[in-house]
Structure 1
């Protein structure tokens, strides 16, 4: 259990001290930013091969489809191993666990730098994927422990802002580096970022004793929480829908909207920029109502995808809806992660690992399903329709979960008192 102290705040609320009471606020927030940079580096590495598949395939003498397994296989390994590895690491001090994960991350990417065969590169990707699931499972929970409770949502938003930043800068810059200097150089660049995060973790993070049990028994225990199961289901549905459509947004924009190939990259940057803004908007409002934030984001995302299916052949409409989609999607990781942490405070790492498993599994499933749709007679336009259906199902699951919670935990009745 985390030891906390309380002091009366000016507004009459209790203020919970962080787990590093001797550290300055500046050092605590620098540590949170370092965790955000870590999220950025991991997500960038996960998706880095997407823009380099042709050059990787040519360099290693494999097909583009075989090279593509470097992305889907990475996501699958992270999804399968996130929950068990996180729970098995439950007794390790969080500072040193983070350091170990980052060492594995740097080593895996350096192995990719020197890889001259597909097997070696695939093995390097597996090493990083093993660290990826655990890092993402514990990063937000660690950030919350570094700052006062009233800043928990802001810290979560900063850490998860690395996801949006990876979309805006990470993958495009990595692709640019790889195209100009070779794909080995792109992996060297992300290894360098990981080393910077490792140094920051060693110097900025205090010792953070583990809060978990270190036993796989934690997984079935947290899964008995019906609302947590709903959170995992919502995550899986919405992320499958998103990656089903977004993975193939380039052929959609080119074939349905009529956007030139050169403009697709610009629009992806616009999408990422909208997402980066949406991440911090969510951080500002999710503290007031997690449920309301998630409902609003899912309604906006479902509507944007459905309208893209209906009006995607109009350039102004498609560009506007793409921006709205980016805004809506970026709010979801912050809202969902905050929801998960609220539902399982005593086993936050185990609960987060299930969320991460659902998220990464959705990348693999969504990309695979989207590919089948694009290659079918339905074509690229169908991906937005199917994605809209999946996000609508996620919204319905969220609403039913909230209704069930109100039914089983009704608000206490007000009692009248005589003056």
Structure 2
């Protein structure tokens, strides 16, 4: 990297959030002469793409029982549709980002959305488990590159002063997908058939594809994703601490959340219709939490992150202690949804603003960490369900969230020593 360690500034300990480095900012005037409306429609297109790709990734979570039944496997084996998707995305994000680094971002995003559309269609039409897994693996290849590309692309669509706002809008697609897209997909799948939910996501992906073709300007690649950039990031304490906290929180969350439907059915004793309602409650809380986080992260990233992780830890502990109570499930899922919704925005902001001019490299490593954590979370959750018991998933998730809270609280000390 060309930036020395002492030149990195750790956004985690600063009050205001800052735009990404100058290499990724939009020019003071739009060279294509686009109006502000078109610029923000471009941003919203990327946000909708984020929503589509994250919802597609996690859609099996709420539909595991019917999917498992139709393809003739256990819930634990059906969970591999999430595990392998995340594993492929994690393993391919860095090398594929480097491989496609010279492609215009407009065309790259268009092709990646085409992969999403095809993968969802094949998933819906899959006659057996091997075809289902093959479709999910195909989608995983595109996922990591998409996420490595979008953050740096977003801030090039608007003037510099709007960079943080645009990033928050696009990243909100993560939280809204996680806490609203999955419950809505679950509801649709339960009221019709689970394949219908995947067809719906294919349609949404096609809409984003058309939006990318018509609204995004030509965006030649910028930023760095080379080996030197990666080595520099690996030596930078704030960035590595951010990756550690990302891993702990995401493994914990997905270890429990991947199996939330069978957990509520078997441990809490709820019927499937009420489970979909509870997941919608989780989703509404998450949408609210996302917009609250958008305001608080801009003022204090540290406080926002610690509050979110602490609230998630508390919710998981209470859920573990009082899992038999239907009345406890509602407030717990509300707090959990509020807390989780803030995490992707907090973590992505921390990563991008600690990366100097290596934002492409940082994004690819962050996506590797994030998706590896989803894969590990769902994998460990499946092993826990099959070998220890379904009721243990929230306890283990709570322990991991508590460890993340400690790491985040000590982040300032590790940052100082690292610089």
TM-score by length of 2: 0.85
SS in 2 for 1:92: coil
Match of 2:403 in 1: 393
Q: Which moved more, 1:226-235 or 1:363-372?
A: 363-372
Q: Distance in 2 between matches of 1:408 and 1:387?
A: 29
CA contact (8 A) 1:153 1:286 kept: no
Change (3 A) 1:114 1:232: same
Match of 1:338 in 2: 349
Match of 2:94 in 1: 83
Change (3 A) 1:211 1:301: same
> Which runs of 5 or more structure 2 residues have no equivalent in the other structure?
1-17
Deviations 1:332-378 (A, max 9, x none): 1001001111011311121112111111111221122223333445x
SS in 1 for 2:299: coil
Q: Distance in 1 between matches of 2:278 and 2:67?
A: 25
Deviations 1:111-149 (A, max 9, x none): 335544443333322221111111122223322222234
CA contact (8 A) 1:211 1:346 kept: no
Q: Distance in 1 between matches of 2:132 and 2:43?
A: 31
Match of 1:122 in 2: 133
> Which runs of 5 or more structure 1 residues have no equivalent in the other structure?
1-12, 410-419
Higher gyration radius (CA): 1
CA contact (8 A) 1:79 1:133 kept: yes
CA contact (8 A) 2:46 2:154 kept: yes
Q: Distance in 2 between matches of 1:299 and 1:205?
A: 39
Structure 1 position 383 matched with structure 2 position 376: no
Residue 183 of structure 1 deviates from its aligned partner by: 4.5
Q: Which moved more, 1:149-158 or 1:281-290?
A: 149-158
Considering Cα pairs closer than 8 Å and 6+ residues apart, tell me whether 1 or 2 has the greater RCO: 2
Q: Distance in 2 between matches of 1:158 and 1:86?
A: 23
CA contact (8 A) 2:46 2:170 kept: yes
28, 42, 45: which one aligns with 1:34: 45
Residue 243 of structure 1 deviates from its aligned partner by: 1.1
Q: Distance in 2 between matches of 1:220 and 1:111?
A: 38
Structure 1 runs (4+) greater than 6 angstroms displaced: none
Match of 1:141 in 2: 152
Match of 1:327 in 2: 338
Residue 304 of structure 1 deviates from its aligned partner by: 2.1
TM-score by length of 1: 0.85
**Cα RMSD after superposing both structures:** 2.8
Match of 1:271 in 2: 282
SS in 2 for 1:287: helix
Q: For this pair of structures, how many residues does the alignment match? A: 396
SS in 2 for 1:145: coil
Q: Distance in 2 between matches of 1:367 and 1:189?
A: 24
Structure 1 position 301 matched with structure 2 position 312: yes
Residue 39 of structure 1 deviates from its aligned partner by: 0.9
Structure 1 position 23 matched with structure 2 position 34: yes
Q: Distance in 2 between matches of 1:112 and 1:258?
A: 30
